[in-house]
Amino acid sequence: MKTRNYFFALALSAMSLGTIDANAQDKFFKAVGSPHMPKVEVAWNRYYTYEGLVDVMQKIAKAHPNLAKIQSIGKSYEGRDIMTLTITDFSAGKDTDKPAMWIDGNIHSNEIQGAEFALYAAWYLTEMHADTEFIQELLVDKTFYITPTINPDARNDFFLKPNNANTPRSGMMVLDNDGDGLAGEDRMDDLDGDGHITMMIRKSPTGRYIKDPLDPRRLITVGPDQVGEYEMLGQEGIDNDGDGEVNDDGVGYYDPNRDWGWNWQPDYIQRGALRYPFSLPENRSVMEFVMSHPNIAGAQSYHNYGGLILRGPGAEEDVNTYNREDIRIYDAIAKKGEEMMPGYKYITVYKDMYTVFGGELDWFYGNRGIFTYSNELMISYLYFHQNAGRGNQDEQLKVDQLLTFGDAFVDWKTYQHPQFGEIEIGGFKKTFGRAHPGFLMEQDAHRNSAFTIFHAYHTPKLSVIDVKEEDMGGGLKAITATIFNERMMPTHSSQDMKHKIERPDFVSISGAKVVAGFVVEDEDFKKFKEQKDSPERIAVENIPGMSAVKVKWIVSSASNYSITVDSAKGGKASWKK
């Protein structure tokens, strides 16, 4: 009977949506862990422009009005809305009353797949909600704020204008990178008009390269006693400003991930910092949103490349900022992430990569006390389950031969260059290498989203348990309540507590006449810390993860009283007699 009712409900749903025919249940069979006949059909084997992302976001919000709302949190440099989805079960309470997870991507414009991965999380949570008890409970308890791209201008530039895999890295302010006084005059020239800035070679009697007879895509360096045929001219382009260099003005070499107001350093110390912290309107919009949402307890940013789960600090000077207690939590969550994402490795930025001043990771944790990771998406391990390393040409050519069938490479073709004469243009496309090929996207998006869901699950979950009453005589009664945090993360990180970033947690009793209120420091040895002001509302410094705190009131009268907990990052909980 249950099965018949289930398929009957699916049929009714299909007819009401008008997108699936009456016999749809005979055409599809649910795969474990994936939405069955989703309300919003999205192909996760392709990339979306800014407009494409917003279109999917709007469809999610329209299809799931009780779970998703869309809003602009600010404007980009060119005036595009920075669109954010709020995902939660709104019928179970306001989004701001629940512990929240922030997810963003695409801060660097060429690190494109972060946007799709962030959006996948929103789509998956909403589409799986109806049939998955875990997600139903998760969205009752938690909120997700998901901003797929926080660099929308440069995202579109990457897709719609000529670029290679590494450009543009930043945003849309055009700077004079070569100092010739002609900002942007020597940008990117797509000589063959295919949208990809590849490489230029030219036949030369002094050339040191030949084409591989077995694979003409590959250039081979000849030995000292051999005669070469080609010389390398660099990337495709023209010297438009007459300074002797091709494509030397990028779209503004500033780095949005050096713009955040934590240990920010000027450009002469770290290139890309621009003028001052939060010079960029996009980052400033994110900062203002986060500052106005103290319920954000966890955060995830998506970058590429490397198959890495990163935590701060970005600079060695901040090594003492990350308290040992918090590092234990970081380690526990990220080690689970290594299991969930084969090939990915958990590391620390400054120690295992390079120094970053003014990075997003450190601002979220240092300024707001938010447990934050940055995942470097894509790793060559995903191709053949071997780690050849980024930029390994042999592997890339093998991938293009066996898995993408020539679609990743622009074959060499002749071109009459106005400065170099007859040349050949060819090489890998801009969307290959750092970015996932289509056939790898959905699996990796799912694994990364599962990691962020695991992280969000372990933001605090509070409950009021073990309420006890004790008759003290003289018309007085003692009421003791235990506030339990069922998850790994505390209501206040060590960084938060050290700098008193967020207000205390409040445990209140109503329906009782309170004489005195205490935090129970050691019940066995009768150690109590009295709160003399407003004892009915006890301020608690922190509720540790997987642990509890106790409070105690002395009351002169109490009948049908209730106890409530109000924590900025831990949400709300209540108990009623």
With bands split at pLDDT 50, 70 and 90, how would you rate the model's confidence at 520? very high
Bigger pLDDT: 14 vs 521 = 521
Q: Is the pLDDT of residue 455 over 70?
A: yes
Min mean pLDDT across 20-34, 301-315, 362-376 is at: 20-34
Distance CA 281, CA 212 (A): 49
How large is the average pLDDT for residues 202-214? 96
Q: Which structural domains are found in the chain, ordered by start?
A: 1-30 (no CATH), 31-157+255-380+437-457 (3.40.630.10), 462-576 (2.60.40)
Return the pLDDT at 558: 86
- Which one, of 481, 166, 152, 475, lies nearest residue 286 by Cα? 152
Place of tokens 């890339």: 396
Min mean pLDDT across 393-397, 481-485, 550-554 is at: 393-397
How large is the average pLDDT for residues 255-277? 92
Q: Answer whether 514's CB lies under 8 Å from 536's CB.
A: yes
Between CA 197 and CA 111, with CA 431 as vertex, the angle to 5 degrees is 105
With bands split at pLDDT 50, 70 and 90, how would you rate the model's confidence at 250? low
- Which one, of 559, 543, 558, lies nearest residue 465 by Cα? 543
Return the pLDDT at 155: 94
Min mean pLDDT across 144-148, 195-199, 243-247, 477-481 is at: 243-247
pLDDT tens-digit map of 83-92: 999 999 999 9
- pTM for the model stands at 0.93
Q: Answer whether 67's CB lies under 8 Å from 126's CB.
A: yes
Between CA 425 and CA 433, with CA 429 as vertex, the angle to 5 degrees is 130
Judged by phi (left if over 0) then psi (alpha if -120 to 50, else beta), residue 41 lies in: beta
pLDDT tens-digit map of 68-115: 999 999 999 999 999 999 999 999 999 999 999 999 999 998 999 999
What is the average pLDDT value for the chain, to the nearest integer? Answer: 92
Q: Is the pLDDT of residue 60 over 90?
A: yes
Distance CA 117, CA 449 (A): 7
Bigger pLDDT: 186 vs 30 = 30
Q: Strands 296-304 and 100-105: what pairing?
A: parallel
Q: Is the pLDDT of residue 175 over 70?
A: no
Q: Is the pLDDT of residue 388 over 60?
A: yes
How large is the average pLDDT for residues 214-226? 93
Q: Which two tokens stand for residue 129?
A: 């909600």
Calculate helix-pair angle for 133-141, 113-128, nearest 10 degrees: 110
Q: Is the pLDDT of residue 5 over 70?
A: no
With bands split at pLDDT 50, 70 and 90, how would you rate the model's confidence at 2? very low
- Which one, of 278, 49, 77, 253, lies nearest residue 170 by Cα? 253
Distance CA 568, CA 89 (A): 18
Q: Is the pLDDT of residue 269 over 50?
A: yes
Return the pLDDT at 190: 92
Q: Is the pLDDT of residue 254 over 90?
A: no
Contacts of residue 535, Cβ cutoff 8 Å, sequence gap at least 6? 514, 515, 516, 517, 553
Q: Which two tokens stand for residue 11?
A: 């049929």
With bands split at pLDDT 50, 70 and 90, how would you rate the model's confidence at 251? low
Q: Which two tokens stand for residue 2?
A: 């249950």
Q: Which two tokens stand for residue 418?
A: 């106005």
Q: Is the pLDDT of residue 182 over 70?
A: no
DSSP structure string for 36-104: SS-SS---SSS---HHHHHHHHHHHHHH-TTTEEEEEEEE-TTS-EEEEEEES-GGGS-GGGS-EEEEE
pLDDT tens-digit map of 11-53: 444 444 444 455 666 788 999 999 999 999 999 999 999 999 9
With bands split at pLDDT 50, 70 and 90, how would you rate the model's confidence at 124? very high
Cα 232 to chain centroid, rounded: 38
With bands split at pLDDT 50, 70 and 90, how would you rate the model's confidence at 274? confident
How large is the average pLDDT for residues 364-384? 97
Return the pLDDT at 174: 53
DSSP structure string for 405-473: TTTTEEEEEEEEETTTEEEEEEEE-TTSSSSPPHHHHHHHHHHHHHHHHHHHHTS--EEEEEEEEEEEE
For residue 478, the tally of other CB atoms under 10 A from its CB is: 16
Return the pLDDT at 243: 76
Which DSSP category does 247 fall into? S
- Amino acid identity of residue 334, one-letter, is A
- Amino acid identity of residue 415, one-letter, is Y
Return the pLDDT at 249: 61
